[in-house]
Amino acid sequence: MLAHWVKEWLLLFYIYCFFGWCFESTYVSLRTGHWVNRGFMKAPFLPLYGSGAMLLLIVSRSFSENIILTYIAGCIGATILEFVTGAGMEWLFKIKYWDYSRQRFNLKGHICLSSTIAWGFLTLFMTRIIHEPIEGVVRSLPEAVVTAVVLVLTIMLAGDFALSFKAAMDLRDVLIKLEEARADMEELQIRLRSMVEHAGAQVQRAIEERGAKLDALHHELTEIRENIQAELTAGFEVRISKLHKLAEENNLESLEEIKEEYRQWRSRFYENQHKRLQALDLSDKFKLHHLKNNPTMNSKRFKKAMEEMREQLNKFRDAK
């Protein structure tokens, strides 16, 4: 069995996790203009704040009588914890769950000067004002009550964390799949552009050799070239078929390669689209929570994939 003082510290940890959630959610909600349930988990607890509180209580204990040293210890201790946590989560999940890149004097977006200053004041507020009464309440509770509360919260938060961790890993996999799909699409567009440019050169040679205008054929090639960047819809396939027909009418049989190669690449396109739609499925509540409640979340490596997920989230909200 755990010693009673360990249970008390665990209860204090959970209390500060909850207070941290209240502070962070209120702050972000005021900044965004709408309610945001902040956090890695779905439950109203932020382990970063709970861990920070426990760390600061331990670190500042040696300087409890010196307000300046307590402030400095809070600044340094909390900043180190925030940097290590942010860097670790980005390395594991490929996502920054918070980003100070737009703040002055930041380090890789994980920490910034204004945040460090705020941590110091929060340390003073906690150690000088709220911790003593909170600790007094916890210590006054019967051991059976502390044990029951800690047991329930531990089981609940362990399950929540496990599901949230899986959702975060799934989100990472989504980013990877979307990035692979985007790269494949870019390769497809480059190849089609090359095909159309080759066809254009053939048409130009035919015009020069025969003195013919071939206006219709030239017009279709121009339209295809201008729309290569667009999604390859049925309209594109119709245009390719029309191009093939015009090529046959003008005895340009070598343009048959465009239609044949397009058939091969079309199957890749639809496979690509299927992969994207599967990746963008937001039916998982925990995955949806990560996107909705971390408005500053981004990924440097998967920037375009994150933008696509944000667009999908907006469509999901509008559809509700």
Q: For 19-33, what is each residue's pLDDT tens digit? A: 999 988 888 888 878
pLDDT level of residue 250 (50, 70, 90 thresholds): low
Residues 220-232 have pLDDT tens digits of 566 665 555 455 5
34 in any annotated domain: yes
130 in any annotated domain: yes
Name the DSSP class of 40: S
Q: Between 150 and 197, whose confidence is greater?
A: 150
> Degrees (nearest 5) of the Cα angle 32, 116, 292?
25
Mean pLDDT of 204-219: 58
pLDDT level of residue 274 (50, 70, 90 thresholds): low
Mean pLDDT of 238-261: 59
> For the ranges 114-123, 178-187, 267-276, which has the lowest average pLDDT?
267-276
CB 160 within 8 A of CB 41: yes
Name the DSSP class of 95: S
User: What pLDDT is stored for residue 50 in this prediction?
Assistant: 92
Dmax (CA) of the chain:
100
User: What pLDDT is stored for residue 96 in this prediction?
Assistant: 87
Domain that holds residue 96: 4-141
Give the pTM. Answer: 0.73
Among 141, 167, 197, which residue terminates a domain?
141
User: What pLDDT is stored for residue 140 in this prediction?
Assistant: 93
Q: Is 231 helix (H, G, I), strand (E, B) or coil?
A: coil
Measure the CA–CA gap between 156 and 151, rounded to whole angstroms: 9
Residue 243 has pLDDT above 70, yes or no: no
Do 131 and 242 belong together in one domain?
Answer: no
Mean pLDDT of 236-259: 58
pLDDT level of residue 217 (50, 70, 90 thresholds): low
Measure the CA–CA gap between 93 and 80, rounded to whole angstroms: 20
Count Cβ neighbours within 10 Å for each residue of 46-78 and write b for 16 or more, e otherwise.
Answer: bbbbbbbbbbbbebbeebeeeeeebbebbbbbb
Residues 6 or more apart whose CB falls under 8 angstroms from that of 45 comprise 14, 17, 18, 20, 21, 39, 157, 160
Do 112 and 31 belong together in one domain?
Answer: yes
Do 136 and 17 belong together in one domain?
Answer: yes
Total structural domains in the chain?
Answer: 2
Mean pLDDT of 274-284: 66
> For the ranges 44-53, 173-182, 192-201, which has the lowest average pLDDT?
192-201
96 beta partners: 298
Do 207 and 303 belong together in one domain?
Answer: yes
- Which residue type occupies 95? I
User: What pLDDT is stored for residue 138 in this prediction?
Assistant: 93
Q: Between 118 and 257, whose confidence is greater?
A: 118
Residues 10-63 have pLDDT tens digits of 999 999 999 999 988 888 888 878 787 788 888 899 998 999 999 888 887 777
Q: Between 263 and 164, whose confidence is greater?
A: 164
Mean model confidence pLDDT for the chain = 78
Q: Residue 164's closest CA among 79, 44, 285?
A: 285
147 in any annotated domain: no
Q: Between 148 and 64, whose confidence is greater?
A: 148
Do 126 and 218 belong together in one domain?
Answer: no
Do 220 and 124 belong together in one domain?
Answer: no
261 in any annotated domain: yes
Q: Between 200 and 31, whose confidence is greater?
A: 31
Do 223 and 116 belong together in one domain?
Answer: no
